Amino acid sequence: MSNKEIIKRLYNEYVNRYLNKIFLALIFSIIIAGSTAAIAWLLDPAIKKIFVEKNKEFMLLIPIAIMLAFSIKGISLYLVRTTMIKVGASIEKEIQHNLTKAIIKADTQVIEKKHSGKFIAHLLFDAALIIQLVSSAVLNLIKDSLTLIALLGLMFYQNWRLSLLAIIMIPLATFTAKSLGKRMGKITTQVQEKIAMITTYLSEILKNSKIIKTYQKEQFEFERADKFLEEAKEKGQKMGIVLMRATPIMEVLTGIMIAALIYYSAIMVDDGTLEINNFFSFLAAMMLSYQPVRSLATLNIGINQGLSGARRVLAVIDEERKIDDNINAKDLVIDKATIEYKNVSFAYDSNNEILKSINFKIEGGNIIALVGHSGAGKTTIMNLIPRFYNAKNGEILIDNQSIYDISLFSLRKNISLVSQDITLFDDTILANIAYAVSKTSEEKIVKACKFSAVHDFVEKLPKKYDTIIGENGIRLSGGEKQRLSIARAILKNAPIILLDEATSSLDADTEYKIQEAIMYLTKNKTTIIIAHILSTVLRANKIFIVDQGRVVDEGNHSHLLKNSEIYKNFYNKQLRPL
């Protein structure tokens, strides 16, 4: 996406709805420009009437006028900045909202390819850079352009010869800033990458703090952190130095201009072509004009930084979703919840096929178990049903309706998932369980908790169901987290149940209770179970053996124990009794 396209898009999607406020800022900017020019112009009569003619009436009037001009300028400057701050904050919120929405709706594969720390850097660092572009840059462009025009008008009114000499600085400053702006765009990208790296690293050490302590890697992590921070410091320092390069250049140019003007003005005053009061008014206007000249000259730097941030944020927002509803998607109509796989293949990339021509059928209300060694493809088979991924080839049917022809909402509404990778929010126990159903009674939640053996440990907590469980349930044991996950699934009461090692984190006593809960959860439900517990497998109406991405055998426990070497081997090595 070119810079022009980015600017056009930011305007169309975010800026144009705030044109009324920007117009208000324009009005205030005109007042700022007029009051600034008035301050410089008032020096002409001040010197002439007060110091040369010694007019006592003007001794009071002109200071009051100057004071009034400064007051108007100050108030207008406050109003224009607060207006644009509000515009910037609103636009930043919209950009962050769209970015968050894109992340939430992104395909699972997209999220898995990028560390969460990088998404956080986009949300915080890059969004702030865009606001510099759409609010600060717009403000400076309007305010400083109008102020410069007003002051240049006054300068030409006072003396056009001196004005021609003074405006030589403008193209010189612009050329300098343009070259610095391109450099700043590249450095800003490098700084963003380092910030994303630090955010990623911080996320990792917080998540793995116990592992760091267990393996005594504190010193290793100190050194690694120092390396990341040093790299970020170097890039940040470099960016600051490049930004500051404009300052000495502008000061040198200003010094040369003022020196030349004083010299040329002295000649003009000496030969009578310039009055002393005109010179001081002109000099004041010129000195005041250098602030907007500096601001406009460095505007290019802020623009390049903003464009750099926008390019990264818009790339996330524009990420095309492969898993989405088709145009004619209909709602899933559940009859018996029969699931059928027809020649289903899947690959995360073109070179690595995970599933190869999977074919099997689960009758509605039945329980099936997927058994196989780690990496055989069991979880992938399960993840295709709620369309966390799309199959490469083949079709998956629920009651003879292709899951690719029905809406994602209606599909996932009819599925409950309990995984070994438990996901919980830093919220109360009640909120985590109620997450399954938007509006439900506390009575139903407690009922679900009793069936999942959650109620037993919750009643022992001081705040009971209002207990905050911490990030991903860090204040709970593995078994307690697993029980919460099962309670959430029970509350949803979906006709299709997916259980991926749902009892993997439980002790023997709790496991017995959970087995009873699972029997309640899966009663008259179509259920797919991945488990290493013999009692769970034995409850299945049918067992499917998965090996190297294929379903190689099927049957009940007795049949497979007699006829399947893979199952027999798996039974001897991995299946354990309750």
Distances (CA, A) of 496 to 62, 435, 528: 84, 18, 8
User: With pLDDT > 90 as the criterion, what percentage of the chain qualifies?
Assistant: 12
Distances (CA, A) of 326 to 182, 316, 333, 404: 43, 22, 17, 8
Q: What would the DSSP string read from start to end of 410-475?
A: HHHHTEEEEESS----SSBHHHHHHTTSSS--HHHHHHHHHHTTHHHHHTTSTTGGG-B--GGGTT
Which one of 3.40.50.300, 3.40.50.720, 3.40.50.2300, 3.40.50.1820 gives the CATH number of domain 421-493? Answer: 3.40.50.300
Would the pTM count as exceeding 0.85? no
For the domain made up of 336-414+496-506+526-578, give the CATH fold: Rossmann fold (3.40.50)
What residues does each domain of the chain span? 3-193+229-317, 336-414+496-506+526-578, 421-493
Report the CATH number of the 3-193+229-317 domain.
Answer: 1.20.1560.10
pLDDT in tens, 325-378: 888 889 999 989 999 999 999 988 777 788 988 998 999 889 998 988 878 888
**Phi, psi dihedral angles at 342 (to 5 degrees):** -125, 105
Intrachain domains 3-193+229-317 and 421-493 with the same fold = no
169: pLDDT confidence band, cut at 50, 70 and 90?
low
What is the DSSP annotation of 333-347?
--SS--EEEEEEEEE
Q: Which of 169-178, 283-292, 303-312, 461-470 has the highest mean pLDDT?
A: 461-470
Report whether 200 contacts 115 (CB < 8 A).
Answer: yes
The 10s digit of each residue's pLDDT in 367-412 is 998 988 878 888 889 999 999 888 888 999 999 999 999 999 899 9
Q: What is the mean pLDDT of residues 497-506?
A: 71
Query: Residue 193: is its pLDDT beyond 80?
Result: no
Assess whether pLDDT exceeds 60 at residue 235. Answer: yes
CA distance 40 to 37: 5
Task: Grade residue 251 by pLDDT with cuts at 50, 70 and 90.
Answer: confident
* pLDDT at residue 223, as a whole number: 85
The mean pLDDT of 130-152, rounded to a whole number, is: 83
Phi, psi (deg, nearest 5) at residue 363: -65, 145
What is the per-residue pLDDT for 78?
Answer: 93
How far apart (Å, rounded) are the C-alpha atoms in residues 422 and 505?
10
**pLDDT 10s digits, 59-71:** 888 889 989 999 9
Contact (CB, 8 A) for 496 and 539 = no
